[in-house]
């Protein structure tokens, strides 16, 4: 009897334990300790705030770059600076006390345009690829003289041309520069310039009837052969000008004196030429 | 193979060019004016920028390109930049005595190529223009060479 009652109480206890376990399993609560009154979190346990996935920060790519890699493949095009991809210990910036800041988190390095995509081997490779689209310069036109051929003008036509052209002529380089910009299209400006050159050229070759009446007084330069100086020298010596010795020096001196004006050089040259001509002692 | 062929046919080597044209020229009459390669005496690039270091790097790039393509080239830069200064009122309203000054510095660099053909000029300019960095402006001037036109002959 005692055994059975013990067994019964034991079994009841067992049942209570099972129910306890079931409840605690369902509600995820254990009733081992005194249950504190909990009015806040009734509807089940609070869910943890979603933490963002934490990725491990890998070491920079520069650690795994071999020294003899093809840099043109690593940095193929223009790109703003990326410190973990460039294996150079670059520093930029100014700090009052301290070294210039390093490349990590350096805005100045990212702002300026870099030429990492145009290293010398890359330029060479790209030029080799471009060579098939280029043509060589013809060997017959090496120097500047061979390139430029002058306009065909005789002395009178050249003088007229230069007068017409005026300020646009450069004596040092012997070139005439005509600038046309009055038309809206480039082709129109070019055609107008060609028209101007053609008109100037043909006009300079045109001989007007009144040009025949040019006299010695109208001449703009002194020509010794057509002047009184030659006649007087011939009268003095009684021979034609070619037979007189030192006549060329005298004619050049007189021409330069009249054309270039009186200066110490021209006057002294004239004096020297006269002494030579008349066999006088030269000082 | 071509040189062998030329030897057999006894064609002098300098008569035909070694460079391939994109199309083959059959007769001289069929060649229009746009197909013939122009000749340029000088191609000058004027570079303007706010940073002299960038201009220096770019001119170095331009000169090495010219050297690889076998073109005579040189570059030079002006030491002093051009300063564009503005003196404006500091405050939105009144306070005439208080101003603020701003300045824009423009640095100049020049690159010059001599003796180029038309296709070379087009290729070179395209390559250089594509690799222009930001903040740099380019002005290209070409000096073309032409034959003296036939109508400019002295009258008979």
Q: Tell me whether residues B65 and A149 touch, CB distance under 8 A.
A: no
Binary contact (B57, A198; C-beta < 8 A): no
Picking from A120, A137, A141, the nearest residue to B64 by CB comes out as A120
- A112: closest chain B residue by CA: B54
Cβ distance B127 to A126 less than 8 Å, yes or no, reads yes
Question: Could you tell me which residues come within 8 angstroms of residue A260 by beta carbon, excluding any fewer than 6 positions away?
Answer: A266
Which of A117, A121, A133 would best serve as a mutation to test chain B binding (most B beta carbons within 10 A)?
Answer: A133
Domain count of chain B? Answer: 1
Quick check: A135 and B155 CB within 8 A?
no
Give whole-number Cα distances, A41 to A20, A47, A152, B23, in Å. 21, 11, 109, 85
Question: Do the domain assignments include residue B8?
Answer: no
Q: Which residue has the higher pLDDT, B18 or A179?
A: A179
What's the average model confidence in pLDDT over A241-246?
80
Is B116 in contact with A126 (Cβ distance < 8 A)? no
Question: Is the minimum CB–CB distance between B54 and chain A shorter than 8 Å?
Answer: yes
The burial of A69, by beta-carbon neighbours within 10 Å (0-12 exposed, 13-18 middle, 19 or more buried), is given as exposed
**Residue owning tokens 């000082």:** A283
Start-to-end CA span in chain B (Å): 52
Residue B22 lies in a domain: no
- Kindly identify which residue of chain B lies nearest to residue A147, measuring between CA atoms: B145
The nearest alpha carbon in chain B to A79 belongs to B133
Helix, strand or coil, per DSSP, at residue A169: strand
| Residue B11 phi, psi dihedral angles, 5° rounding | -95, 130
Question: Domain range holding B131?
Answer: 37-145
| Interior/surface letters A202-218, b for 16+ CB within 10 angstroms, e for the rest | eebbeeeeeeeeeeeee
pLDDT tens for A90-126 read 999 999 999 999 999 999 999 999 999 999 999 999 9
The DSSP string of A216-241 is GGG-SS--GGGSHHHHHHHHHHSS-G
Asked if A266 contacts A260 with a C-beta cutoff of 8 angstroms, the reply is yes
Those residues of chain A whose CB sits closer than 8 Å to some CB in chain B are 78, 112-113, 115, 118, 120, 123-124, 126-128, 130-138, 141, 147, 149, 151-154, 157, 194, 197-198, 201-202, 205
**Res. B4 pLDDT band, cuts 50 70 90:** low
pLDDT at A1: 55
All residues of chain B having their beta carbon less than 8 Å from the beta carbon of residue A154 are 154
At A184, list the tokens.
Answer: 């809206």
Residue of A166, A201, A190 whose CA lies nearest to B146:
A190
ipTM over 0.90: no
User: For residue B151, is it within any domain?
Assistant: no
Which residue carries 């939105």 as its tokens?
B92
Give the residue-averaged pLDDT of A169-181: 92
CA-to-CA distance for B83 and A126, rounded, in angstroms? 37
Of residues A123, A131, A198, nearest to B152 (C-beta): A198
Pairwise CA distance, residues A188 & A184, whole Å: 7
Report the pLDDT value the prediction gives residue B103, as an integer from 0 to 100.
Answer: 97
Sorting pLDDT into bands at 50, 70 and 90, what band is A73? very high
Is residue B55 domain-resident? Answer: yes
Is B127 an interface residue toward A (CB < 8 Å)?
yes
Residue indicated by tokens 């609070």 = A46
DSSP A91: B
User: According to the 3-state scheme, what is the secondary structure of chain B?
Assistant: CHHHHHHHHCCCCCCCCCCCCCCCCCCCCCCCCCCCCCEEEEEEEEEEECCHHHHHHHHHHHHHHHHHCCCEEEEEECCCCEEEEEEEECCCCCCCCCEEEEEEEEEEEEEEEEEEEHHHHHHHHHHHHHCCCCCEEEEEEEEEECCCCCCCCCCC
* Chain A residue with minimum CA distance to B57: A115
CB contact under 8 A, A197 and B152: yes
Is residue B156 in a domain?
no
Is the pLDDT assigned to residue B20 strictly greater than 60? no
CA dist list (Å): A161 to A32, A205, A215, B153: 122, 8, 21, 14
Q: How far is B156 from B151, CA to CA, in rounded Å?
A: 13
For residue A130, the chain B residues in CB contact (below 8 A) are 69, 123-124, 127
Average pLDDT over residues B51-76: 96
Distance in Å, alpha carbon of A176 to nearest chain B alpha carbon: 14
User: Are residues B17 and A115, on separate chains, in Cβ contact within 8 Å?
Assistant: no
| CATH value at residue B43 | 3.30.70.600
Give A130's pLDDT tier (boundaries 50, 70, 90). Answer: very high
B136 lies in a domain? yes
Question: Are the beta carbons of B54 and A141 separated by less than 8 Å?
Answer: no
What's the mean per-residue pLDDT of chain B? 86
In this structure, of A15-19, A236-240, B52-56, the range with the lowest mean pLDDT score is: A15-19
d(CA B145, CA B69): 20
Alpha carbon distance B40, B142 (integer Å)? 7
pLDDT above 70: percentage of residues in chain A: 92
- Chain B residues close to A201, C-beta within 8 Å: 152
Note the pTM of the prediction, 2 decimals.
Answer: 0.71
């Amino acid at each position: 009897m005692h055994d059975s009652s013990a067994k019964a109480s034991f079994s009841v206890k067992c049942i209570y334990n099972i129910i306890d376990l079931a409840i605690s399993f369902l509600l995820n609560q254990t009733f081992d300790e005194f249950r504190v009154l909990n009015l806040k979190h009734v509807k089940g346990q609070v869910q943890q705030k979603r933490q963002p996935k934490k990725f491990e920060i890998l070491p920079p790519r520069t650690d795994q770059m071999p020294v003899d890699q093809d840099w043109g493949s690593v940095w193929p095009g223009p790109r703003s600076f990326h410190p973990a991809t460039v294996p150079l210990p670059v520093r930029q910036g100014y700090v009052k006390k301290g070294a210039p800041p390093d490349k990590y988190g350096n805005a100045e390095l990212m702002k300026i345009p870099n030429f990492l995509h145009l290293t010398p081997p890359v330029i060479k490779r790209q030029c080799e690829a471009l060579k098939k689209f280029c043509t060589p310069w013809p060997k017959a036109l090496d120097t500047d003289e061979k390139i430029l051929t002058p306009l065909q003008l005789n002395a009178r036509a050249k003088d007229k041309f230069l007068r017409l052209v005026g300020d646009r002529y450069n004596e040092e380089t012997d070139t005439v520069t005509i600038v046309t910009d009055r038309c809206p299209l480039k082709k129109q400006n070019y055609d107008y310039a060609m028209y101007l050159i053609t008109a100037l050229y043909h006009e300079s070759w045109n001989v007007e009837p009144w040009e025949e009446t040019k006299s010695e007084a109208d001449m703009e330069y002194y020509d010794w052969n057509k002047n009184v100086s030659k006649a007087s020298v011939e009268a003095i010596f009684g021979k034609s000008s070619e037979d007189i010795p030192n006549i060329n020096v005298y004619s050049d001196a007189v021409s330069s004196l009249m054309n270039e004006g009186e200066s110490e050089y021209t006057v002294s040259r004239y004096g020297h030429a006269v002494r030579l001509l008349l066999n006088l002692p030269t000082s | 193979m071509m040189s062998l062929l030329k030897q057999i046919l006894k064609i002098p080597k300098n008569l035909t060019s070694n460079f391939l044209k994109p199309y083959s020229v059959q007769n001289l009459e069929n060649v229009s004016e746009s197909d013939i390669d122009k000749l340029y005496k000088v191609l000058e690039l004027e570079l303007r920028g706010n940073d002299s270091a960038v201009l220096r790097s770019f001119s170095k790039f331009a000169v090495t390109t010219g050297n690889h393509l076998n073109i005579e080239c040189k570059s030079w830069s002006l030491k002093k930049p051009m300063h564009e200064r503005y003196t404006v009122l500091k405050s939105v309203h009144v306070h005439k005595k208080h101003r603020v000054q701003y300045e824009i510095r423009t640095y100049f660099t020049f690159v010059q190529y001599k003796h180029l053909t038309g296709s070379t000029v087009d290729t070179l300019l395209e390559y250089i223009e594509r690799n222009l960095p930001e903040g740099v402006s380019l002005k290209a001037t070409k000096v073309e060479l032409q034959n003296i036109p036939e109508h400019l002959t002295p009258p008979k």
